[in-house]
Structure 1
Amino acid sequence: MQLTALAMAMGLAVSATAVQAQSLNLTLSGGNPGGLWSLLGAGVDRAVQVADSSAVVTYQATGGGFANIGLLGGGRTDLGIVHDAEVQLALEGEEPFRSPITNMRAIGYMYNWAPMHFFLDRSVAEQYDIDSLDDIASSGAPIRIGINRSGNITSNIALMMFELVGVTDESLAAAGGQFVRAGANEQGELLQDGRLDMITNGIFINHSSFRAVDTNADVVLLSIPQEVIDATNERFGTGQMTIPAGSYSNQEADVNTVTLGALLAATDTLSNDEAHTLAMALIENLDEVRSVHSAMQQLSPEMLATPSLLEFHPGALQAYQEAGLSQ
């Protein structure tokens, strides 16, 4: 009887250990194939495989952060990459979400250095004496402004920043201008072809689309009033960043602006063991993520452990505490 009981106890212990040691097998929803988020997905997968060759994080291409939040909210994916500004809207149940989505937990902050850029054709800037975003409304210039497509958070942010300085569909139309919806690369082509006067987006400094514009068009980078930055950050949970002078050909001074960040998020149904294993794999094998793109070289364990709009998954928080990255 005692031996049987002991064997049963040992069997239970072995089973529990086996479950605890089970390799990760997770799905991660990102963005368009070939984009940065798909590269980050590959980096996360490599990081967990270095830690455990049997582990796998399967990347799922989607339309981006809004779609990923919907998938997380519905429990249809294990992990998702999301912008901080998208999380803000989701937590408050604002469009495009019908109700608050509160089952998301942070695994790690991936970056917070995707600043909003506002490039204006230099001849228009000089003709109408436009140096700052708040010069546009009073200038009377017939500016055709490219903003990202609906469903991309940078278009929401750009429209608010324009509205804060009095630039709206109505004011642009009255001056003979308009907002034009177009993706990042398309905006650059339209500007170079003379079909846009201004482009906006929130991407890394010297992103390929910006380098093409800086090389093939004569543009200036507009400054942003501090009150616009502050109001936008309060609304979207974004941050502030400086684009250093000389980042672009005609940029003589530093430009302070709003910056977007991106999080690796999970649902609250992800087990503590899985979240802990994932976070530890990222901490210990961060070079696998850094290597996916030159812009990710700034990613550090401290950045991973940076608090955000989302509370950390308990398992991830435990990993950061054990690594001395969090209290």
Structure 2
Amino acid sequence: MIKSVVGTATVAISLVLASVGPSSAQTYNLTLCGASPGGLWSLLGAGIDAAVKKSFPGSTVTYQTSGGGLANVGLLDNGTCDIAIIHDAEAKAAIQGLEPFSAPIDSMSTIAQLYTWAPMQAIINADYAEENGISTLEDIATKQLPIRIVLNRRGNIVSDIGASMLNAIGASPDQIEAWGGSIQYAASGEQGDLIRDRRVDMLLNSLFVNHSSIRELASSIDVKLVPISDETAQKVIDEWDIQRFTVPSSAYDWSPQDTLTVTVSAQLFVRNDADAQLVTDITRALTENSVELQGVHNAMAPLDVKLMSEATTVPYHPAAQAIYAAAGY
């Protein structure tokens, strides 16, 4: 269910705005805060630019690189960017004032959900799993194993979620070290080398299903995808307001069973006080030209208007809400 940040009077005004067709003379020059120059978010930036241009010729959405979603919260809040891509868990941390934020930041409104399929995948060296009888993530805590795990870089939200998953099973980083294991931190591009070279036993990271890095790893050593229990999933969901995700048995020929985990999702945000007509026009451009976003990468093929409308962590801007309501969502 879509939530609104303002009362019904403002929603009514936005509905009126939504009913007015965009002016062919209208143009926008917007800044979108993303992440690195490469990667999916930069491709999404290009897709958003194409969608806005298609509805409002002459417009430009400029992709601004940044440190990622956590940095984008502040950049959006201080007006450096007009729109920003932020993960749901990062938005949750912001509105609750969790680290790295010194105080709650609640100036964001959702425009659209972009994807929900970046699951936390626990990929373990199959030999290590067999030697130690690991069939679920919880086995690490039950057996108090001296396992070497690599999480994403410190300061990356999925690193924090990975630590939360370990805490939820009773295997905090401190406990793992006490059992003789270790927790390392490395960027996604470095993790495959670490496990391939036997410097770690398992990686725990947010990756698209069948990501090229996973395929490369599985082609060089035997690996196994480790599930979590429903109880563990719920603990992490309660903490971060993220979602369950099942990696299907068809995803990997070396993991022939459905595997439960949790996933982060990404949303497009605007400030609460953004101009209602601007938000109306951007949302309409995205919903009417979703093919521009679907085409940026194979991973974006499932995106549709229904999914755009289903974010729950942060309320939708009323002007965006009006567009989805008019579409029946």
Alignment TM-score, normalising by the size of structure 2: 0.90
Query: Percent identity over the alignment?
Result: 39
User: For the residues of structure 2 that align with 1:307 and 1:158, how far apart are their CA atoms?
Assistant: 22
Question: Which of 154, 166, 171 is the matching residue for 2:170?
Answer: 166
User: For the residues of structure 2 that align with 1:176 and 1:168, how far apart are their CA atoms?
Assistant: 13
User: For the residues of structure 2 that align with 1:18 and 1:251, how far apart are their CA atoms?
Assistant: 49
User: For the residues of structure 2 that align with 1:104 and 1:70, how far apart are their CA atoms?
Assistant: 10
Per-residue deviation, 1:207: 1.2
Task: Answer yes or no: is 1:157 the counterpart of 2:150.
Answer: no
Say which SS state the counterpart of residue 298 (structure 1) adopts: coil
User: For the residues of structure 1 that align with 2:311 and 2:204, how far apart are their CA atoms?
Assistant: 28
Task: Answer yes or no: is 1:191 the counterpart of 2:219.
Answer: no
Question: Equivalent residue for 2:65?
Answer: 61
Question: Equivalent residue for 1:142?
Answer: 146
Task: Answer yes or no: is 1:181 the counterpart of 2:181.
Answer: no
Runs of 4+ in 1 over 6 A off after TM superposition: 17-20
Task: Answer yes or no: is 1:228 the counterpart of 2:232.
Answer: yes
Task: Answer yes or no: is 1:325 the counterpart of 2:328.
Answer: yes
User: For the residues of structure 1 that align with 2:159 and 2:92, how far apart are their CA atoms?
Assistant: 15
Per-residue deviation, 1:187: 0.5
Return 5+ residue gaps in structure 2 as ranges: 1-20
Contact 2:166-2:173 within 8 A present in 1 as well: no
Q: Deviations over 1:252-304 (max 9, x none)?
A: 21011101110000112320000000001011111111111101000001111
User: For the residues of structure 1 that align with 2:276 and 2:295, how far apart are their CA atoms?
Assistant: 28
Question: Equivalent residue for 2:8?
Answer: none
Contact 2:24-2:56 within 8 A present in 1 as well: no
* AA of the residue aligned to 2:181: G
Per-residue deviation, 1:36: 0.5
Per-residue deviation, 1:210: 1.5
Per-residue deviation, 1:139: 2.4
* AA of the residue aligned to 2:231: E
Per-residue deviation, 1:110: 0.3
Say which SS state the counterpart of residue 188 (structure 1) adopts: helix
User: For the residues of structure 1 that align with 2:304 and 2:153, how far apart are their CA atoms?
Assistant: 31
Query: Which structure is higher in RCO with an 8 Å CA cutoff and minimum separation 6?
Result: 2
Contact 2:26-2:56 within 8 A present in 1 as well: no
User: For the residues of structure 2 that align with 1:122 and 1:273, how far apart are their CA atoms?
Assistant: 54
Question: What aligned pairs does 1:1-327 form with structure 2 within 5 A after superposition?
Answer: 22-322=26-326, 324-326=327-329
* AA of the residue aligned to 1:224: I
* AA of the residue aligned to 1:209: S
Contact 1:122-1:220 within 8 A present in 2 as well: yes
Would you say how many aligned residue pairs link Structure 1 and Structure 2?
309
User: For the residues of structure 1 that align with 2:197 and 2:309, how far apart are their CA atoms?
Assistant: 44
User: For the residues of structure 2 that align with 1:166 and 1:18, how far apart are their CA atoms?
Assistant: 54
**Residues 99-108 or 21-30, more deviating:** 21-30
Contact 1:105-1:268 within 8 A present in 2 as well: yes
Contact 2:48-2:292 within 8 A present in 1 as well: yes
User: For the residues of structure 2 that align with 1:171 and 1:147, how far apart are their CA atoms?
Assistant: 15
Structure with the greater alpha carbon radius of gyration: 1
Per-residue deviation, 1:20: 10
